[in-house]
Amino acid sequence: MPPPIPHQHAKEFQAISGILDQHPQILDLVHHDLIRHLKNPSKGRPGLSADQVLCILILKQMESLSYERLAFHLHDSVTFRHFCRLSFTDSFNAKSLRQNLKRLMADTLESINHILLRHALAESVEKGRMVRFDSTVIESNIHSPTDNSLLYDTVRVLARLMGRFPAGLSAGYTDHTRRTKRRQLAIANAKGKKERLCMRISLR
């Protein structure tokens, strides 16, 4: 395979690859996750190796790629294939990439982060006094948080929590979950804005 192009982005991946090579225990953690559900790891069709899976995961996170885009860029980019230790004969698709990356456990990723943090401290790259948290927003099939639905969710959760208390502590409590659900559905199915507003007022 030809070397990656002389570009700053490619140099960043080369530096990451060098750091990973200094810590072979990281690959042991990844390899353990990849084979933990296999009855006989020595049998079957050869798959992606531990270093390939780890580098593919790093690439996916760094570039914020979906699995479909990840598969495309791995086939299309010489730099990405070089970083992920893939040859031009390696064949894979978005499904196989997803299956491999999903095998990595949260505890494994946390252990890898600790190893890399110790490396950064040893090399005086990072003091580790400040951490920035980030989150990835994904599309989900949750309902719109309307007032009536939030009220119903509140009553439902409170009723569930009260049900866990001993009988003496929950004496005098009345479960209004069914009544609240009927009102919530009535508001949601109201034909007009005026009718919906009246129902909300009566619900209060």
Residue 125 or residue 59, greater confidence: 59
Quick one: average pLDDT of 56-80?
Answer: 91
pLDDT category of residue 132 using cuts at 50, 70 and 90:
low
Beta carbons within 10 angstroms of residue 157's beta carbon: 11
Instruction: Fill in the DSSP letter of residue 89.
Output: T
Distance of alpha carbon 11 from the chain centroid: 27
Residue 52 is predicted with a pLDDT of: 92
pLDDT > 70? residue 45: no
Helix (H, G, I), strand (E, B) or coil at 103: coil
Residue 26 is predicted with a pLDDT of: 93
Domain limits of the chain? Answer: 8-122, 147-203
Vertex 33 angle, CA 108 and 68, to 5°: 90
Q: What is the rounded distance in angstroms from the CA atom of residue 43 to the CA atom of residue 39?
A: 9
Residue 166 is predicted with a pLDDT of: 78
Residue 173 is predicted with a pLDDT of: 77
Instruction: Fill in the DSSP letter of residue 47.
Output: -
Residue 53 is predicted with a pLDDT of: 92
Burial class (CB in 10 A: 0-12, 13-18, 19+), 32: middle
Using a cut of 0.85, tell me whether the model's pTM lies above it. Answer: no
Q: Which of 58-72, 76-90, 127-141 has the lowest mean pLDDT?
A: 127-141
In tens, the pLDDT along 177-194 reads: 888 888 888 887 777 776
pLDDT category of residue 46 using cuts at 50, 70 and 90:
low
